[in-house]
Amino acid sequence: MSERIDLGPQGFIYPMPMTLVGADLPDRPNFMPVAWINRVQMNPPRLACGLNKHHATNAGIRDHGEFGVSIPSIDMVEATDWCGLVSANRAADKTAPFTVVRGTLAHAPMIAECPIALECRVVELFDLGTHELFIADIVATWTQPQYLDEDGKPDVLKMQPFVLTMPDNRYWSVGDYLGPAWSIGRDFQPPVALEE
C-alpha cells in the first residue's frame, strides 16, 4: 500500500449534490446554486444547508423563514453555474433563466423547469462563524409524473441531477446503477480474523 498523505483541513465530501436554493428578496425571488445541503432527519423530515452570511439569499431566508430547494437536471448546468457567477447583491435577476413556481408556502420560490423541488420551512438557524446553518422542515416535494418510476418514486435516470466536486470544481452526471441499498450487502461475508 502506498504512502498516506494529509492534504490538510480543506477536505470535501465526494460528490456533493447541486441544488438551486430559492428565497424571496425584497425586490424579487432569487435562486442560488448550493451544494452544501443534505437531509439530516427522517421524521419530521428535515434538511440542513450551510450558506455564507454575505449572500442575499441568507437575508431572504431569515426574513421569511422559508425557502425552496430545486434540483436542476444536466441540461440546466450552464444556467445553474451562471447563477453562481452573478450576484443578487449587485442587482442580477436570477429568475431570468427560469419559470418561478410556488406551492403551499408564501415564500419558497421554486423552479418549474427543475424535475423536483422541495418547499422548506426554517426551524433552527445556527451561526457557525462565516456561515449560517439553516435547519428546515420539508413540507412538500413537487415533481411531475414523467419523473417517477413505476413505484411512484422519483427516478434519478429521468431527473438527471448532477453533482459537484471540490476543490477541483467540476460538475458530473450520475452514472451507472450499482445495486439496491440495504440489500446488496446481504450476502457479503467479512473476512474472519484468525485467533492467534
CB 31 within 8 A of CB 20: yes
Cβ nearer to a copy of itself, comparing 26 with 181? 181
**Between 23 and 136, whose beta carbon lies closer to a copy of itself?**
136
Binding flag, residue 2, a copy of itself (CB under 8 A): yes
Work out whether 124 is an interface residue with a copy of itself (CB under 8 A): yes
Cell of 42: 427522517
Residue 124 and residue 109 in contact, taking contact as beta carbons nearer than 8 Å: no
User: In the stretch 39-58, what mask flags binding to a copy of itself with x, by CB under 8 A?
Assistant: xxxxxxxxxxxx-x------
Determine how β-strand 66-71 pairs with β-strand 46-52: unpaired
Site for a copy of itself in 84-103 (CB under 8 A): 84-85, 93, 96-97, 101, 103
> DSSP character for 147?
G
Interacting positions 4-33 with a copy of itself (CB under 8 A): 4-17, 19
> Counting beta carbons within 10 angstroms of the beta carbon of residue 176, is it exposed (0 to 12), middle (13 to 18) or buried (19 or more)?
exposed
